Amino acid sequence: MKGAKSKEDLLKKLKERGIDFMENQDMSSYSSIKTGGKADLILFPRNEAELGLIIKLTEGVISECFRYVVGGGTNTLFKKERICVPVISFKKFDSSVSDASENYGSHENEKCGEKVMRFGAGINLSKILNYSMRHNLSGCEFFYGIPGTLGGAVKMNAGSKESSVGNIVEAIDIFDSNGSKRTVQKKDMNFSYRSLNIKGIKDNYCITSVYLKLKESSKAEIAENIKIFKERKSGQPLGEFSLGCIFKNPEGFSAGKLIEEMGFKGVSFGGASVSRKHANFIINKGGAKPSDIIFLIDNIREKALESKGIKLDTEIKIV
């Protein structure tokens, strides 16, 4: 299938095929920090068929094949006033759950009480945790308090110091930049701190399904595990508009403690403020502009390098 020849042609084809899309959308509605520029075009695939179609139709339209994919928008700051490339939102994407143990099971796995569950990439981590609790499955308790969708969590290898998503992923289904579907097994995935590299695949891909290896357990044990993460999250501003942790922890250091030591806790600029509860969070107090948040990020980074000799890298994506 050939891509659309122009934006007008693209919109016509999207309408003909019943694919949801919106024009001139304020991206503050698609980011957990509730600020951002406007997107010329945002598309909402509901399943793999629609996603594959979107990728093929948008090829060559608006900024040479590039597309930006957003899941829950929980770690993305849209700093540009105008986003001219097509934005693919997973807000309405497949969030189904099924047992894939037959395809990934072994006698050894059965003896250990392990199950491989397939989750649609659009499902929220909180829903996976709730599902696991209802079905007595352990292994994803560290999802507690982590916002966003599973696809995004896998791409950034979200997690805690105890565990990360990469530790329980068995395989993923993806669509590459050409709209071709493939299944990637664990052996071809290299998970590291807040990142995932796939052998032979460039970064411009979409995750559509994730296969997680979980273990049968008791409700009491799962609840006890969740309690550990619940207590830890009490020290984070979960009720505020934020993007989660702004900076990665430098080796041997806590980014939050470092920022607090430099005197940034509670510092504000415009409508943005470094959280008084946890210094590695920047919150939107009301009316924050992306430039307010960028100003605080830049100042923290400069001070860390100047006074501590430490380079702080952002954990969030800045578009």
pLDDT 10s digits, 30-41: 999 999 999 999
* Cβ atoms of 27 and 85 closer than 8 Å: no
* Cβ atoms of 191 and 157 closer than 8 Å: yes
Query: Average per-residue pLDDT in the chain?
Result: 91
Average pLDDT over residues 185-200: 94
Q: What is the pLDDT of residue 65?
A: 45
Tens-digit pLDDT profile for residues 154-188: 999 999 877 899 999 999 999 988 888 999 999 99
Look at domain 7-89 and name its CATH class: alpha beta
Q: What is the pLDDT of residue 245?
A: 95
Q: What is the CATH number that goes with domain 255-318? A: 3.90.78.10
Q: Which two tokens stand for residue 21?
A: 């899309």
56 C-beta neighbours (distance < 10 Å), count? 17
Distance of CA 222 to the CA centre of its chain: 24
Q: What is the pLDDT of residue 72?
A: 87
Domain boundaries, the chain: 7-89, 97-233, 255-318
Q: What is the CATH number that goes with domain 97-233? A: 3.30.465.10
Per-residue confidence band for 273, with pLDDT thresholds at 50, 70 and 90: very high
Tens-digit pLDDT profile for residues 60-99: 665 544 678 898 889 999 998 898 888 999 999 999 999 9
Residue showing tokens 């329980």 = 168
Q: Which two tokens stand for residue 113?
A: 């009480």
- Comparing 177-181, 270-274, 300-304, the range with the smallest average pLDDT is 177-181
